[in-house]
Copies of this chain bind each other. A is one copy, B any other.
Amino acid sequence: MKGLPSLERAVVVLSRFPGVGPKSARRMVYHLLRRGPDAIRELLDALEGIGARIRSCERCHNLSEGLLCWICADPARDPTRICVVEEPSDLLAMEKAGLFKGVYHVLGGRLSPLDGVGPDALHLASLESRLSDGGFVELIVATNPTVEGEATAHFVAQLAEPLVSRVTRLAHGLPMGGELEYLDESTLYQAMVGRRDFRRD
């Protein structure tokens, strides 16, 4: 709309969010304007907050508000087990699952030669140096179960195997609550390959 360039600009910028099209971006702007200056101020403060405070953990590249993230800074975490994930959001998902009590290494992405993402674009050098310092008894690869995530997993495993006595990966198999009928064949295939004895654990 020609008469409101600042509104149009906000719509364009908000449309850059994943899953936000021009229509929902417009609805968001209207909503803000309806709620008034305080709502805009609150949003500005919150965004300035993440812009100013959140950085990358010096050790594991997790999101952090200090030099070290709250996991690296926590003496209660087991420093002998390290879990390698693609993104900070994957780390947060793992934390929500709640089982793992060790430390992490966030790669900052996955290998994707087609998009020009090679090993140098990921935090692999710092991983290698952490592993070389020794003290790890297990490295768990927790990349995403996608083609690129799998390739990344293999790369990480190859890098880690000379340096850590045990390199493991998350199990592939049936998602909880899913139905066999609706599962893709490769998941079912992996679930068969990885089948376990009923009373084993």
Contacts and interface: CB of A to CB of B under 8 A. Distances in A.
Give the interface SS of chain A, mostly helix, strand, loop or mixed: helix
A4 B54 contact: yes
Nearest to A35: B16
Interface in A11-57: 12-14, 16-20, 24, 26-35, 37, 39-44, 46-54
A10 B49 contact: yes
Contacts of A20: 28
B30 A88 contact: yes
A200 interface: no
Given A1-B95, A7-B63, A65-B3, A50 B40 contact: yes
A87 interface: yes
A30 B87 contact: yes
A6 B40 contact: no
A32 B14 CA distance: 11
A188 interface: no
A69 B6 CA distance: 13
Given A6-B65, A70-B3, A17 B31 contact: yes
Contact of A49 (B9, B17, B46): B9
Contacts of A71: 3
A30 B158 CA distance: 29
A1 B62 CA distance: 12
Interface in A55-112: 63-65, 69-71, 87-89, 92, 95
16 contacts: A1-B92, A3-B69, A3-B70, A5-B65, A6-B46, A6-B49, A6-B50, A6-B65, A7-B54, A9-B49, A17-B28, A18-B27, A18-B28, A32-B50, A33-B88, A44-B51
